[in-house]
Amino acid sequence: MDTFGIYHIIFIIIFVSTAILAFGSLLKIGIFSQIEDKYTKVLFVSLLVGLAGAVFIFLATMSNIMNNLYVLYHLVFISIFIGTAVVALGAMLKVGIFNQVEDKYTKLLSGALLVELVGAVVQSYMAMPGISYNQAEEWGFELQYVNYLDDWKQTLENPLDRKCVDEYATTHQLPMKESDKCFNNMSVGSYIAQTDAVGGTGRGLMFLSFNDKNLRLNGIMSYKFPKDIVDSSFSVSGKKNNNKERVLLFSQKKRLYCSPQIDSISLNNCIERKGYEFEITFYKEKMDFIGVLRHPNLALNGENIVIANAIMYPR
């Protein structure tokens, strides 16, 4: 056994022995009842010193000194509070050895106990999280689409798709014969859909709810794409990183996409696409929030292509 362990054993033996003698003489138990009052006082002082030493040794072995001081503060406060409460209540109720406490000291102890109780309540209240409420915001929303067609075409992996898109971009005519390799090519239809957006502005109305403590955002948005006549609905979620930055995730359910062939009015030419989502980080500029929309799936040189500038403005 090392020296440090022996020191702890000796300290514990002395501390326990002092505690037994002190409480035994105080409560007049057995042979301890013969200990004189002056020695009882000395034993209690020794016990308090030993207790204080044990607390400081415990804190000294902890790694975080600031946390040590914080723990020490609470231990001292709790010890004083409990000691005052025991003596004050014992004196008021005339229990055991406390029935000899004079009335003037009983009143003083009762006043001290009330002050400590008020302090404990105030401190606990200050440490509690403040009351928070869910709040709602209404925002206007715009996507100002840039000309991203060249970048979009470069993301087409199939050479035939690129050829068909280039032919349509040159002639602006759709192939009418099924024998044509580009007949009913979905990339051409997607290209036409992109051209409807390029240079246009989509507008929507967004409602967001949030709690001022957790800063999480949730809501819905009604949005109309450029040249569309029907609104699309999005669910919106996100968070406030600070007063000047917000990150929003927009999610849309499954939808039908129809090939733009002439005279194709039947749903037989339509396919169901999976729902998709995209994320935009907004930064505050004056009263508005500005961001950039990147395509959620298409990338060039390891970075998703930019398709629109996004803006949120208060309603």
Same domain, 109 and 138: no
Q: Lowest-confidence range among 14-28, 55-69, 216-230, 235-249?
A: 55-69
Quote the number of domains for the chain.
2
| Across 112-138, average pLDDT | 72
Q: How far apart are CA 99 and CA 234, in angstroms?
A: 74
**Residues 86, 55 within the same domain:** yes
Contacts of 18 (CB under 8 A, 6+ apart): 43, 46, 47, 50
Q: Give the mean model confidence (pLDDT) for residues 200-206.
A: 93
Q: Which of 127, 143, 163 is where one domain is finished?
A: 127
Cβ neighbours of residue 275 under 8 Å, at least 6 residues apart?
251, 252, 253, 254, 255
Mean pLDDT, residues 44-52: 72
Q: Which of 12-21, 47-56, 168-177, 275-284 is predicted with the least confidence, judged by mean pLDDT?
A: 47-56
Share of the chain above pLDDT 90, in %: 20
DSSP string spanning 167-181?
HHHHH------TTST
| 169 shares its domain with 297 | yes
The CATH number given to whatever domain includes residue 169 is 2.40.128.120
User: Which of 61, 94, 127 finishes a domain?
Assistant: 127
The SS3 assignment for 96 reads: helix
Of the listed ranges 24-28, 186-190, 285-289, the least confidently predicted one is 24-28
| 62-75 pLDDT, tens digit each | 555 555 566 666 66
Which domain covers residue 224, as residue numbers? 134-314
159 shares its domain with 73:
no
The last residue of a domain, from among 109, 127, 145 = 127
Is the pTM here over 0.75, yes or no?
A: no
Q: Per residue in 236-249, pLDDT tens? A: 999 888 888 999 99
